[in-house]
Chain A
Amino acid sequence: MGQEYQDKLGFPGRYPYTRGVQPTMYRGRLWTMRQYAGFSSAAASNERYRYLLEQGQTGLSVAFDLPTQIGYDSDDSMSLGEVGKVGVAIDTLADMEILFDQIPLDKISTSMTINSPAMVLLAMYIVVAEKQGVSAEQIMGTIQNDILKEYVARGTYIFPPRPSLRLITNIFQWCSANAPKFNTISISGYHIREAGSTAAQEVAFTLANGLTYVQTALDAGLALDDFAPRLAFFFNASSNLLEEVAKFRAARRLWAKLMKERFQAKNPATMMLRFHTQTAGSSLTAQQVDNNIVRVTLQALAAVLGGTQSLHTNSRDEALSLPTEESVRTALRTQQVIAHESGVADTVDPLAGSWYVEQLTDAVEQEALELINRVDEFGGVVACIENGFIAGQIEDAAYQYQQEVESKERLIVGVNAFQTEKETSVPCCGLIQQWRISRYKRWHGSRLSVIRRRYGDALPP
């Protein structure tokens, strides 16, 4: 066993965690299959969550609509067209009570994709728990609460960066004392990658954000080992299988080193980068949608070979609309086939030692570290949000990618190569179709004739 192995890789579950955060990884327990979902109203979402729990799911992942995510009421003029669209609308505590009605918050862990108003939604969640007789100490789950990536990628910011960071620190502080089982942040590279970044940029800007949260919390007087073990990460899985595996391994190693070297971390849990993964939505194509099942399979495999703690797989039809129930089931089945049929979960970090994968891991880590150092030279993440450096880097990468597609230097099957004349249309399942029709009826009541031409007798009275 050479010294280089010890320094660069280490045993699984040991510093620098290149090979994974647990010694046995999926041999001990499979990753959590956590599918993100949310429906128009609190009542409809509650019904779906209870169905999922009856089917044996142990955790929930709540999608909120954009007005809720940006702090608007449903009847605000800014909310036009957005209410209940990308998730559930929560205006009041009463909505939150309906959302978790008959769901025991001492037994179920809840992941909430909420950032700017995270403290409000978390407070509501705690009050709903209290009304059930469950104390804050007992609640389990995660709030995304990662404001920094909102300014450069996802766009649901409300306040400027500096006061937002203070709110986040206050949440860390309150939860470490009162809700110790709750993960107070999910530091997200996912949206940075979706916005067009490269793999190395995804690692760099995500870890740079993480370092900023750590420094802000330390400046506020928090003790590193009180909050750092509850930091979680969220990455993208794109189609370049080996580069993605290298990316996950590089991110783990670089975070461990940064925590040890910059902050003198002692507690192993403080140095472990634990992460959720979602397959790359932007890689899905509207053309030949069945090809997307293959893309999602490759991406999910990359996440598993890279040692993810939990995984969401996208559905094949998401470049067209909200996924049908059948497509969502296939997406979940994709994870189950990888878990139970492929054999990749029978061993730990199976690609370790491959010359190519180790070299790529080193290269991604090196490039990411150089970018983190550049951000530091420019005054840190907040300065680089304000001066546009990070957003500019991501935009340049997005435009370069698109130009490669246009010039066919990069081939996308079914899009700029291997096109077919006649596209097969996606069958629309009953429930979603009815839901869509009811939307049409509301919006286009005066033009029912158009809808009747589209749907004929399928239209309900």
Chain B
Amino acid sequence: MKAYRVLIAKPGLDGHDRGAKVIARALRDAGFEVIYTGIRRTPDEIAASALQEDVAAVGLSSMSGAHMRLFPAVLEALRKAGVEDIPVLGGGVIPEEDILLLQEDGIASVFTPGTPIATIIEAFTDACQKQHQARNR
């Protein structure tokens, strides 16, 4: 498998990054190259990192209920940076009705607590492959 590079990011002010760090390690152990932004990143900072690091996917984590504002804001920042083809996945305490709205906005996958790591790795692999194929068509 190609070693895809991905960005794990914490938008907003939420400091609960257990999930983000566990996912970062699990992706690393699955063969991904993982960059973790640390906490309290703005959408523009996340988009700049995604662009500069040339990642194949971005994973967002928020536990504070700010996902409805912040996840779409990251999509917008990626558009502004000219890299709207980088898929964005998200996780956190996200109610069912929000998942639908986030997916309509363009978030590729949304994960709630208890999702098996294997499912998340599969979703990242899938998203990275699609992005890779689209860019190299």
Q: For B40, give its contact among A78, A395, A444 (CB under 8 Å).
A: A78
B69 within 8 A of A: yes
Q: Cβ of B104 and Cβ of A450 under 8 Å apart? A: yes
Q: Cβ of B68 and Cβ of A195 under 8 Å apart? A: no
Interface size class of A (residues with CB under 8 A): 35 or more
Q: Cβ of A81 and Cβ of B70 under 8 Å apart? A: yes
Chain A residue with the shortest CB-CB distance to B68: A443
A453 CB → nearest B CB, Å: 9
Interface size on B, residues (CB 8 A): 36
CA distance A414 to B43 in the complex (A): 35
**Among A148-156, A305-313, A329-337, the stretch in contact with B:** A148-156
Write out, one digit per residue, whether chain B residues 72-101 have a CB within 8 A of any chain A CB (1) or not (0). 010000000000000000000101110011
Q: Cβ of A78 and Cβ of B104 under 8 Å apart? A: no
Q: For A406, give its contact among B97, B100, B113, B117 (CB under 8 Å).
A: B117
Q: Contacts A81-B73, A195-B18, A398-B21 hold; do A406 and B96 have CB atoms under 8 A apart?
A: no
Q: Cβ of A155 and Cβ of B16 under 8 Å apart? A: yes
A59 within 8 A of B: no
Chain B residue with the shortest CB-CB distance to A437: B97
Best-surrounded residue of A78, A82, A406 (most CB of chain B within 10 A): A82
CA distance A195 to B43 in the complex (A): 24
A67 within 8 A of B: yes
A319 within 8 A of B: yes
A196 within 8 A of B: yes
Q: For B113, give its contact among A69, A72, A286, A398 (CB under 8 Å).
A: A286
Q: Cβ of A398 and Cβ of B93 under 8 Å apart? A: no
CA distance A323 to B70 in the complex (A): 22
CA distance A449 to B64 in the complex (A): 26
CA distance A286 to B110 in the complex (A): 13
Cβ contacts under 8 Å, B66 to chain A: 80-82, 85
A284 within 8 A of B: yes
B42 within 8 A of A: yes
Cβ contacts under 8 Å, B25 to chain A: 395, 399
Q: Cβ of B69 and Cβ of A443 under 8 Å apart? A: yes
Q: Contacts A80-B73, A406-B118 hold; do A154 and B68 have CB atoms under 8 A apart?
A: no
CA distance A416 to B115 in the complex (A): 9
A108 within 8 A of B: no
CA distance A178 to B17 in the complex (A): 38
Q: For A67, give its contact among B13, B100, B101 (CB under 8 Å).
A: B13
Q: Cβ of A81 and Cβ of B116 under 8 Å apart? A: no
Cβ contacts under 8 Å, B100 to chain A: 450, 454
Write out, one digit per residue, whether chain A residues 65-107 have a CB within 8 A of any chain B CB (1) or not (0). 0110110100001111110011000000000000000000000
Q: For B13, give its contact among A66, A195, A399 (CB under 8 Å).
A: A66
Q: Cβ of A318 and Cβ of B15 under 8 Å apart? A: no
Q: Cβ of B93 and Cβ of A320 under 8 Å apart? A: yes
Chain B residue with the shortest CB-CB distance to A72: B13
Q: For B93, give its contact among A156, A194, A319 (CB under 8 Å).
A: A319
Interface residues of A in 47-64 (CB under 8 A from B): none
Q: Cβ of A398 and Cβ of B70 under 8 Å apart? A: no
A354 within 8 A of B: no
A3 within 8 A of B: no
A107 CB → nearest B CB, Å: 33
Q: For B14, give its contact among A66, A80, A406, A416 (CB under 8 Å).
A: A66
Write out, one digit per residue, whether chain A residues 114-141 have a CB within 8 A of any chain B CB (1) or not (0). 0000000000000000000000000000
Q: Contacts A81-B12, A194-B16, A454-B97 hold; do A402 and B22 have CB atoms under 8 A apart?
A: yes
A321 within 8 A of B: yes
A22 within 8 A of B: no
Cβ contacts under 8 Å, B113 to chain A: 284-286, 319
Q: Cβ of A444 and Cβ of B101 under 8 Å apart? A: yes
CA distance A415 to B113 in the complex (A): 10
Q: Which residues of B contact A (CB under 8 A)?
A: 12-18, 21-22, 25-26, 39-40, 42-43, 64-70, 73, 93, 95-97, 100-101, 104, 112-114, 116-118
Closest 5 CB pairs of A and B: A155-B15, A81-B69, A81-B66, A66-B13, A321-B95
A-B CB contact pairs (8 Å), 25 listed: A69-B13, A72-B13, A78-B42, A80-B42, A80-B66, A81-B12, A82-B12, A82-B14, A85-B66, A86-B65, A155-B14, A194-B18, A195-B16, A196-B18, A196-B22, A282-B18, A286-B112, A287-B114, A318-B93, A319-B93, A402-B22, A402-B117, A414-B114, A415-B114, A440-B101
List 13 extra interface pairs beyond A82-B12, A285-B113, A398-B22, CB under 8 A: A70-B13, A78-B13, A80-B73, A85-B66, A86-B65, A150-B15, A286-B114, A319-B114, A322-B65, A402-B117, A406-B117, A406-B118, A440-B101
